[in-house]
Structure 1
Amino acid sequence: LLIGLGVQWLFKQDAAILATNANLPWQTPWNWEITWQVLVVGFFFFSQIFLPLFLPLVTQLAGVDISSLALRGKAGYILLSYLLMTGGGLAILYYSIKQFLPLPDDWFRFKLRSNWFLWGFGGYLVAVPLVLLVSLLNQQIWQGQGGGNPIILLALQAQDKLALLIFFTTACIAAPVFEEIIFRGFFLPSLTRYLPIWGAISISAVLFAVAHLSLSEILPLTVLGLLLGFVYTRSRNLLAPILLHSLWNSGTLLSLFLLGSG
């Protein structure tokens, strides 16, 4: 199927399925200041600076030592921090763009009755070999250095089923929904006011990778971000990249669980 779609694109170009909406920008009512306000304040500042300082202070005042918690407690703490990050980030997004409401129909579109599942699942089938290949090359560069995702590092230790369920909820539901709303739902379309579709996909993919704060994962996450952006611009439905993102994270956690139990 994937080879067939590739051949169709090669011969039909703009009329091919893979070329759907390839050059159709979003109608963006705000300027670059609103775009960077949401990304810098709503995502990077709130999630990477404010919460990491504020939440430990609150837990310390409450007499809770996070480092001494069992794995289940640490999993709950990560889920709580991610839910707070999601709530704060989406609140900043809403208040930044509410003056422009109602938005054009193609913004933040969630449509159950469309081909989003095919785009999301098809994107995942492409992502598996492509991202894994880049990851293998990436390992030769970093040799196991450069940091890692704390959820993944903790999941390696998790044989507690409830802890694994909490990790799954965080990585495979909360993270895909929030990150796709911010990076594909808002940031990528906003960039199409100034850039062609391919440029918006590329920049949003790089910043998506940088946002994970792991040097060793920038290359594979950029490739994943490119695929997520491609799927969203073609489907124009946020359910498609959310599905792809969720399947990718689910596969990662499942492989870690199998390795840990082997």
Structure 2
Amino acid sequence: MSTTSPFCQPISLCPSLPSTARAKSKVYNTNSSLTGTARLLASSFSSRCLRNNWRFLCFKDDKSSLNHNILKTEEDSSPMEPEPESNQPNVNHGWLLNLRRIFRAEAEAEAKEWTVPWTGKTIVQVMLLWMASFWFVGSWIIPFLAHTSGFRKDALTFRGQAFYSLLTDVAEGIAGIGILHSCLAPFRPLSPNWFKFSLKGNWQLDVALGCLMFPLVNRLSQVNLNLFPMLPPAPVTVSNVERSILARDPVAMAVYAVVVSVCAPVWEEVLFRGFLLPSLTRYMPVWCSVIVTSLAFAFAHFNMHRMLPLVFLGIVMGAVFARSRNLLPSMLLHSLWNAFVFIDLMK
């Protein structure tokens, strides 16, 4: 939509006078110095007006002022008569149609997807670098720092394991956001609707409805196993989180609660809903972007046994984000889901 608002100038109806009266009015209003050619043009213009009962000339306020003045002069030169009663509904109808076009254009502009200044190359670059940094930080950097500091992960206590997980998750999140910041640096400043985080808006009901989906998401885990029975069974292992819960270590449990309910939702939502979902709208509709992002979100957890529930959860969080254009609701919903799973483990 153009930055300058359009204005519409109606051209009044050409009066339907008798031919003799029309000829006299032309003689009266026409300068005596007009040549025969000019009079012929004026007559042609009048006949065109008779054929077209009315029309609109749409122009921008910074252009076509000369044309507007010319048309106004032509109107002033014609005899002023009240428009026929039968044509008034048509004129009103024309104005209504024109207003509808303006309102429709404004609505489309407001509903327009994010303005994506980068291409698919940047999208792929960010995601590949994020996956590489996620693996490199978690598998090499943090273990190397722990080893050089004289700590062995296997020998750590429950609290030590919890703080180790917190350090790893924070480092992975910082690395991912740092990659995002670096790759998008050439495109700054970004428009205000990118990475929006605000308490304002009517998103509370969306989050509440999303929370009602949690039992269904949990149920989809069993459906996932029934749909893909050929998958190898998950190894029966006890995670560090479950060990700390079984040991009833309050400090370790509190640290793990921070990891799963604060750290992970923040950087995962910034990457998947904040960056990937809007970026994909450059090439596909919003609903397609929500589905593709949810698939990427599920694959990023590297757990085929929970693929279906994670995809569904990603769709719910993506829909909430797409409706609000705000990262806070999706982060909150993600955090509440992780807290729901954590509390379920404590039973």
Same fold (TM over 0.5): yes
| Contact 1:117/1:243 (8 A) holds in 2 | no
User: Is the aligned partner of 1:72 residue 2:129?
Assistant: no
Residue 121 of structure 1 deviates from its aligned partner by 2.3
Structure 1: unaligned runs, 5 residues or longer: 1-20
| Contact 1:147/1:215 (8 A) holds in 2 | no
Larger radius of gyration: 2
Alpha-carbon RMSD across the aligned residues, in angstroms, is: 2.2
Which has the larger displacement, 232-241 or 152-161? 152-161
Larger RCO of the pair (alpha carbons < 8 Å, separation 6+): 1
| Contact 1:66/1:74 (8 A) holds in 2 | yes
Q: Which residue of 1 aligns with 2:246?
A: 157
User: Which amino acid in structure 2 is aligned with residue 28 of structure 1?
Assistant: V
5 Å matches for 1:196-207? Answer: 196-207=285-296
User: Is the aligned partner of 1:135 residue 2:224?
Assistant: no
Which has the larger displacement, 138-147 or 192-201? 138-147
Residue 56 of structure 1 deviates from its aligned partner by 1.1
Distance 1:213 1:75, change over 3 A: same
| Contact 1:148/1:217 (8 A) holds in 2 | no
Q: Which residue of 2 aligns with 1:232?
A: 321
Q: Which residue of 1 aligns with 2:273?
A: 184
Residue 118 of structure 1 deviates from its aligned partner by 2.3
Residue 50 of structure 1 deviates from its aligned partner by 4.0
Superimposed CA distance per residue, residues 206-250 of structure 1 (whole angstroms, 9 cap, x where no aligned partner): 111111111211111111111111111011111111111011111
TM-score (norm 1): 0.83
How many residue pairs get aligned? The number is 235
Distance 1:151 1:181, change over 3 A: farther
User: Is the aligned partner of 1:60 residue 2:144?
Assistant: no
| Contact 1:206/1:222 (8 A) holds in 2 | yes
| Contact 1:109/1:236 (8 A) holds in 2 | yes
Residue 33 of structure 1 deviates from its aligned partner by 1.2
Distance 1:184 1:247, change over 3 A: same
CA distance in 2, matches of 1:212, 1:109: 25
Q: Which residue of 1 aligns with 2:337?
A: 248
User: Is the aligned partner of 1:36 residue 2:124?
Assistant: yes
Residue 150 of structure 1 deviates from its aligned partner by 4.8
CA distance in 2, matches of 1:219, 1:153: 23
Residue 130 of structure 1 deviates from its aligned partner by 2.5
Larger helix proportion, structure 1 or 2?
A: 1
Distance 1:96 1:115, change over 3 A: same
Structure 1 stretches of 4+ moved >6 Å? 146-149
Residue 153 of structure 1 deviates from its aligned partner by 4.5
CA distance in 1, matches of 2:238, 2:274: 23
Superimposed CA distance per residue, residues 48-76 of structure 1 (whole angstroms, 9 cap, x where no aligned partner): 23431221122122221101111111111
